[in-house]
Structure 1
Amino acid sequence: MTTERIEPPFAADETAMLTAWLDYHRATLLLKTEGLGHDRLRERSVPPSSLSLLGLVRHMAEVERYWFLSVLQGQEFEEGIFWTKDDEDGDFNQVDTADVEADFATYRTQVELARAAAAGLPPETVGKRPRSGEEVTLRWILVHMIEEYARHNGHADLIRERIDGATGE
C-alpha cells in the first residue's frame, strides 16, 4: 500500500493545524516502513534495544488507542492490543512471530478510531486519564501525539537507514 503524505497548511485554525501535523507524522511513520519485507520490519535497531519498525507501528497503535479512546472517550481496556500485564512492552518485544499485515491493519484501524473520536471536538474538550483521573484537553493530546510521533519517527529514520541505507523525510 502506498502512503500519501500531505504537507500541513501554513495557515489554518488551531484544530486543523494540529490535526494536519498529526496526520503528516502518521504518514511519515508508514513511509519509513514501505518497501520492506516482514523480516526487515521485525529487525531490531541495535542490541540490547527491542526497537524495530514493526514495533514502532504496534506501539503507535497502542498510543492512539490510549489517548483518543481511553483518555478522550473514557473507554476502559484491561490490557493493550499488543501488551499484556505479563509483558508491558509486548508491542516491541513480541514482533518475531507477529502477523505483519494484521498489525498494520490494527494500526490503521486505531488511527481511524482516533480520528473519529476527535472529529468535530473543540480543542478545549476534556478527557481523563484512566488511573489518575487527571484531566487532559484534546489540545494537549494532539500536541503530545505530534511529539510522540516526531520522536519515534526519528527512531524509524535511524532503523530504516541501518536496514537498507534509505534516508529522507
Structure 2
Amino acid sequence: MSLPLPEPGPSSDVPAFFLTYLDFYREAVADGLAGLTDAQARSVRVPSGWTPVELIRHLTFMERRWLVWGFLGEPVPDPWGDRVDGRWHVGPDETVADVVAALRRGGARTRSIVGGAALDSPAALGGRFTDPAARPTLAAILFHVLQEYARHAGHLDVVRELIDGRTGE
C-alpha cells in the first residue's frame, strides 16, 4: 500500500483528520486492484456476487451520492448508476484504470467540498435530502462515508486474498 495507516495525533483539525483517513482508505481500495489482470478484477469470489472493480465503482458513486448530491444538493446524472437491477455493475467498456481514476477524481472533489464548508453545516435541500429536519451535517456525512470505505476495504482485502493470496493492512 502506498500510504501508511494514519495515526490519531494531537491535532484538533477535524476536517483534515477526516480527509486523511478518507484518502488512506480510498488509496487502500485502489491498491486492492493493483497488479490484478482485468479478468481477476472482474471475477466474482464471494457468494454475494460482486467483483473488485464493481466495489470500486460503488464507492465512487457512494461518495458522490453523499457529498455532491447529498451535502451540496447538486443534481448528478444517475446517482445510483453503480447498480443495474439492484446489483453493482461495471460495463465491459469501462476499464479498471478508468474506474480507479474516477474514484480519485471523486476524492479530489470531496477535498474541495470539505475545504469550503464547516463540519456543522447541514446538507443542502433539493438533492438527496428534501426534509429540513432530516438532513445530516457535513460531519455526519463524512463519518458515514469513512465507515463505508473502511468496511469495503476489509471486504476487498478478503477477496484479494482469495484471488492471489495477497493480504491487506
Q: TM-score, normalised by structure 1?
A: 0.84
Query: Partners in 2 of 1:149 and 1:138 — Cα distance?
Result: 16
AA matched with 1:11: P
After superposition, the C-alpha distances for 1:47-71 in whole angstroms (9 at most, x for unaligned) are 3x22221011100100111111011
Give the match for residue 151 of structure 1: 151
Quote how far apart the aligned CAs of 1:23 are: 1.7
Quote how far apart the aligned CAs of 1:113 are: 1.2
Question: Compared with structure 1, are the counterparts of its residues 16 and 78 closer, same or farther at alpha carbon in structure 2 (3 Å cutoff)?
Answer: closer
Give the match for residue 18 of structure 2: 18
Query: Partners in 2 of 1:167 and 1:22 — Cα distance?
Result: 20
Q: Describe how 1:64-79 pairs up with structure 2 within 5 A.
A: 64-79=63-78
After superposition, the C-alpha distances for 1:4-49 in whole angstroms (9 at most, x for unaligned) are 44624422222222222222211211222211121111111223x2
Q: Does 1:124 align with 2:124?
A: no
Query: Partners in 1 of 2:161 and 2:15 — Cα distance?
Result: 33
Unaligned stretches of 5+ in structure 2? none
Taking only aligned residues, the RMSD between alpha carbons, in angstroms, comes to 2.3
Alpha-carbon contact 1:68-1:118 (below 8 Å) kept: no
Query: Partners in 1 of 2:119 and 2:129 — Cα distance?
Result: 22
Question: Compared with structure 1, are the counterparts of its residues 131 and 9 closer, same or farther at alpha carbon in structure 2 (3 Å cutoff)?
Answer: closer
After superposition, the C-alpha distances for 1:120-159 in whole angstroms (9 at most, x for unaligned) are 4221011046254331111101111111011101110110
Give the match for residue 107 of structure 1: 103
**Tell me, what secondary structure is at the counterpart of 2:15?**
helix
Alpha-carbon contact 2:70-2:129 (below 8 Å) kept: no
Unaligned stretches of 5+ in structure 1? none
Question: Compared with structure 1, are the counterparts of its residues 95 and 40 closer, same or farther at alpha carbon in structure 2 (3 Å cutoff)?
Answer: farther
Q: TM-score, normalised by structure 2?
A: 0.84
- The number of equivalent residue pairs is 164
